[in-house]
Each structure stands twice: as structure tokens, then as C-alpha cells.
Amino acid sequence: MGVKRSMKLIGVLALQGDFAAHQRALDRLGVASRQVRNLRDLEGISGLILPGGESTTLLKLLDSSGLKEAIVDFHRQGHPLFGTCAGLILLSRQVLNPEQPSLGLIDVTTMRNAYGRQKESFETTGEANFGEDPSLPMVFIRAPRIVRLGESVTPLASYQGECVMAGQDKVLVATFHPEMTDDTRVHRYFLDMTSNGSLSSS
């Protein structure tokens, strides 16, 4: 398992946002990563992380780079995607406050800026539904909320009874920023999805 992980290359969408923090999280796990800014950067990666940032800006840059369609194709080929905060907004089926286009790769409705403005950002401890230790540190930065969860979406973590992390097929999303903590369990959960993906698709 360890050997496989160290050979894996994970892409981090680097158009805008906190891609460097995700790369540091992957570094801590000994996993190689690559910044993805154009189509050719998608070649040879086992999974893609869509980081936090500003989702409207990210959408514009996804359009101009041609990456919007390419990421949908990448997902269709069976590769896992992981979106945090703005990354979740990009992956959602539906986006509110305001309504905006999205990739629609996970059946959730997401409300932007749902806790309020930047000064309403906070750090807390939530509950994980996966692994042995339910206590999971969470950093919410001008965070969105998942306001509707489709039937085939699995809730994976909660804060104050609300789902803040979820998965469906090969898509993992979180409203908080696991890359801003030293806890690597959420990233490990994603890496396990890439292992399973390569097994079933090969």
C-alpha cells in the first residue's frame, strides 16, 4: 500500500486559490503532486483536487483554459475528484446565493457564503463518519453549506448536525479546509478512492 501511494501523482487545480496548501498536505503524506493549469497537466495523474478560492473567478479561468470540459472527461474516465470549499461549489449539481453554473458532478445543492462574510470564518471540531476517531478538526473560511443531499450521496462528516463532507461515486467534497490543519485523514480518504479507482478501471 505504502509503495503504491508513493508512486501516485495527484493533480491540484492551480488556477487560483489555496492549491499550495493542498500540495503541502500531500507532501506530509509523502504523495507527489502536480499543479494543473492547462489540459496537458491532466495527463498521468490519478486524481484531481479542486481547492478553495473564489468560485466565480475559478469558473472563468476553467472556461478560458478549456479545463471545464476536460475535468468532466477526466471524471468520466473513472478518476476521482476532491473539492474543498470553492472546489465543492464547482462540483455541485446546483449552486445558490447567487445561482451560477457548475460542473454538476455530485448531486448536492450548495449555498455560497452560507455562514456569512469573511469575518464569520472559524475553526472547530466536527464529527467524521469514517475511520475510528470521530473527532475531526475543521477550518471554515467564508464557507458554503450543503443545503440538499441527493439520495445517492453519502454523508461523511458533520458539524452541528449538518453534513459538511460527502461523497458520490468518484467525487469527494468538503465545505471546510482539511488542508489547513495537520490532520491528514481527509486527504488519505481521497487517496484511498484513487487506489480503488485504479483497481476497478484496470
Partner 1 sequence: MRPDELMREAKEMGAPYDLVCLVAQTGKLPVPNFAAGGIATPADAALMMQLGAESVFVGSGIFKSEDPPARARAIVEATTHYNDPDILARVTEELGEAMPGLDIATLDRGALLQQRGM
Site residues, partner 1 (CB under 8 A): 14-16, 20, 37-38, 57, 60-61, 64
State which residue, 48 or 157, has the beta carbon closest to partner 1.
Answer: 48
Place of cell 467564508: 142
State which residue, 38 or 97, has the beta carbon closest to partner 1.
Answer: 38
- On whether the CB atoms of residues 84 and 121 are closer than 8 A, the answer is no
Q: What are phi and psi of 108, to 5 degrees?
A: -135, 155
163 is known as an active-site residue: no
User: Strand order of the sheet with strand 162-168?
Assistant: 32-36, 9-13, 47-50, 81-84, 171-174, 162-168, 154-159, 122-128, 135-140
177 is known as an active-site residue: yes
Identify residue 190 by its one-letter amino acid code.
Answer: F
Q: In the complex, what is the shortest distance from the CB of residue 17 to partner 1, in angstroms, rounded to a whole number?
A: 10
Catalytic residue among 79, 85, 163, 187: 85
Q: Look at residue 82 and give its three-state secondary structure.
A: strand
Catalytic residue among 22, 75, 177, 187: 177
Q: In the complex, what is the shortest distance from the CB of residue 20 to partner 1, in angstroms, rounded to a whole number?
A: 8
Q: In the complex, what is the shortest distance from the CB of residue 61 to partner 1, in angstroms, rounded to a whole number?
A: 6
Which residues are annotated as catalytic? 85, 177, 179
